[in-house]
A = this chain, B = another copy of it.
Amino acid sequence: MAQTQPRKTRLTFGVMLQGAGSHMNSWRHPGNPADASVNLDFFIANARKAEENGIAFAFVADGLYINEKSIPHFLNRFEPLTILSALATTTRKLGLVGTVSTSYSDPFTIARQFASLDLISGGRAGWNAVTSPLEGSGRNYSRPHPEHSLRYEIAQEYLDVAKGLWDSWDDDAFVRDRQSGRFFDREKLHTLGHKGRFFQVEGPLNIQRSAQGQPVLFQAGASEAGIGLAGRHADAVFANHVPLEDAQALYRSIKTSALAHGRSADDVKIFPGAGPIVGRTHAEAEEKYQAIRNLVSIDEALAYLGRYFDHHDFTAYPLDAPFPELGEIGKNSFRSTTDRIKRNAALKHQTLREAALEAATPRTDLIGTAEEIADVLIGRVEKQAADGFVLGFPVLGQGLSDFIELVIPVLEERGVYDRSLSGTTLRDHLGLPRKTSRYVDASAGVQARRAG
């Protein structure tokens, strides 16, 4: 790291395609179709608009358990691998990143599906490997939900297996010589033979490597175990939007973890979420924020707050008294979010009503004019709190249009953004080199072959 030259600041974005937007009631906003979470045309239109304006990838989040209290766009939505594959043939350069849980799937299947998406899309696939925080997931999968540290132990081995399977065939393994009838080179086939604590997977995978070598591996989760997983395996990390100092600390932790695993700090890119609400004036942005906030009733806000705190019933407390003391409630699920809510409530002396409404419609430093938003985004990259951002617009239709119309021109003027995606693969867009096979000896530049 010591010898790296100062680099020109350059902003890279992904965009979350999550129904009508990241806001719990975005479906009520007139700027979106109410059925956005299952509206193919809406997905395609936003994906294309993002691509045409240089946004590097679409990001499709996921969850494996719902009940009647879940927020609307979680109740009824496309499954990530299928919708991303549908977008693969309706876009040309856009990266296609989707969430799949390592706690509730098989590595042979998932390695294969992402490899297939990667091949179909010409090297644009990314997998956000998560371990599933929701306890209820186990009830849809005939097994107990593994506790936090076990989930991460499983994930570590799972990703070992997936990455091993992705290298089953050397890049030039398939010779396909019609004259001789030789379809592949036996020396370039590698059978994994993984025998681990959680998985025994023989291989090989029945699909070749892609234009980018392997799908891009995203990881999300800022716990110590999550940072360890990211340092060892991830090409990119999706993080929460948190105050600058916290974001810098997380950024440092992940880069340090990468170094500890014998990788370079540049090998893993940090992409916090960002949900800008932009106006032509600061007041207009504030009006847009209030309009979104007004989509939520106080009952819905209390239920939303409850989701983070183990479905705690907040209706039992007086609405206009100070935010209640909660003790240990919520410490085992969305820990960083519950800590943030509690800290914010204390800092601003919020009542329960105020805290709930703000939790349902978070107020961030990304509400303002294009210049103000550009300042924050550029500042975060310059101050080593981010390498890029996953744009999770509270209201997707309006948010993406406003961002393209108002913020991107400012970023272009400041010389930190370019609407043309010059490369073709997701790794190109993220500034990551093509992934070399584990069987290639980099120093000698020749294939180091292992017996199958």
Name A's B-contacting residues (CB within 8 A).
Answer: 25, 27-28, 30, 34-35, 38, 40, 44, 63-64, 66-68, 70, 72, 74-79, 81-90, 104-106, 108-109, 112-113, 115-117, 119-120, 136, 139-142, 169, 174, 176, 178, 181, 183-184, 186, 189, 191, 198-204, 206-208, 295, 297, 300, 452
Is the beta-carbon distance between B85 and A208 smaller than 8 angstroms? Answer: no
Query: Of B74, B82, B191, B295, which one neighbours A117 at CB under 8 angstroms?
Result: B82
Q: A90-B89, A202-B139, A207-B77 are in contact. Are A105 and B109 (CB under 8 A)?
A: yes
- 16 A–B contacts from the bound complex (CB under 8 Å): A28-B178, A28-B181, A38-B207, A67-B191, A67-B204, A76-B206, A76-B208, A78-B119, A79-B112, A81-B82, A81-B85, A82-B82, A82-B117, A104-B109, A106-B141, A142-B200
- Which of A35, A79, A116 has the most C-beta atoms of chain B within 10 angstroms of its own C-beta? A79
Across-interface contacts of A300 in B (CB, < 8 A): 181
19 additional A-B residue pairs with CB within 8 Å, beyond A139-B200, A141-B201: A27-B178, A34-B178, A38-B119, A40-B119, A44-B89, A66-B206, A72-B184, A76-B174, A79-B116, A83-B85, A84-B85, A86-B86, A86-B89, A87-B89, A136-B202, A140-B201, A142-B199, A142-B201, A181-B295
Bound Cα distance A294, B235 (Å)? 48
Is the beta-carbon distance between B78 and A184 smaller than 8 angstroms? Answer: no
Across-interface contacts of A140 in B (CB, < 8 A): 108, 201-203
Is the beta-carbon distance between B75 and A27 smaller than 8 angstroms? Answer: no
Is the beta-carbon distance between B68 and A206 smaller than 8 angstroms? Answer: no
- Which of A44, A67, A86, A90 has the most C-beta atoms of chain B within 10 angstroms of its own C-beta? A86
Across-interface contacts of A189 in B (CB, < 8 A): 68
Query: Of B34, B40, B183, which one neighbours A120 at CB under 8 angstroms?
Result: B40
Is the beta-carbon distance between B176 and A113 smaller than 8 angstroms? Answer: no
Bound Cα distance A156, B17 (Å)? 36
Across-interface contacts of A30 in B (CB, < 8 A): 178
Bound Cα distance A142, B90 (Å)? 36
Query: Of B78, B117, B176, which one neighbours A34 at CB under 8 angstroms?
Result: B176
**Shortest distance in angstroms between A245's beta carbon and chain B's nearest beta carbon?**
37
**Shortest distance in angstroms between A1's beta carbon and chain B's nearest beta carbon?**
38
Is the beta-carbon distance between A64 and B108 smaller than 8 angstroms? Answer: yes
Is the beta-carbon distance between A76 and B120 smaller than 8 angstroms? Answer: no
Query: Of B88, B113, B191, which one neighbours A81 at CB under 8 angstroms?
Result: B113
Bound Cα distance A308, B140 (Å)? 37
Bound Cα distance A37, B44 (Å)? 27
In chain B, what residue has the closest Cβ to A101? B109
Across-interface contacts of A63 in B (CB, < 8 A): 206
Bound Cα distance A109, B113 (Å)? 13
Across-interface contacts of A452 in B (CB, < 8 A): 68
Bound Cα distance A68, B202 (Å)? 13
Bound Cα distance A78, B121 (Å)? 12
Across-interface contacts of A169 in B (CB, < 8 A): 76
Across-interface contacts of A84 in B (CB, < 8 A): 85
Bound Cα distance A117, B68 (Å)? 24
Is the beta-carbon distance between B79 and A176 smaller than 8 angstroms? Answer: no
Bound Cα distance A368, B142 (Å)? 52
In chain B, what residue has the closest Cβ to A184? B75
Across-interface contacts of A112 in B (CB, < 8 A): 79
Query: Of B64, B174, B297, which one neighbours A181 at CB under 8 angstroms?
Result: B297
Across-interface contacts of A176 in B (CB, < 8 A): 27, 34-35
In chain B, what residue has the closest Cβ to A143? B200
Is the beta-carbon distance between B181 and A116 smaller than 8 angstroms? Answer: no
**Shortest distance in angstroms between A168's beta carbon and chain B's nearest beta carbon?**
9
Across-interface contacts of A108 in B (CB, < 8 A): 64, 104, 140-141
**Shortest distance in angstroms between A361's beta carbon and chain B's nearest beta carbon?**
14
Bound Cα distance A35, B201 (Å)? 27
Is the beta-carbon distance between B27 and A183 smaller than 8 angstroms? Answer: yes
Across-interface contacts of A72 in B (CB, < 8 A): 183-184
Bound Cα distance A251, B181 (Å)? 39
Is the beta-carbon distance between B141 and A78 smaller than 8 angstroms? Answer: no
In chain B, what residue has the closest Cβ to A140? B108
Is the beta-carbon distance between A183 and B75 smaller than 8 angstroms? Answer: yes
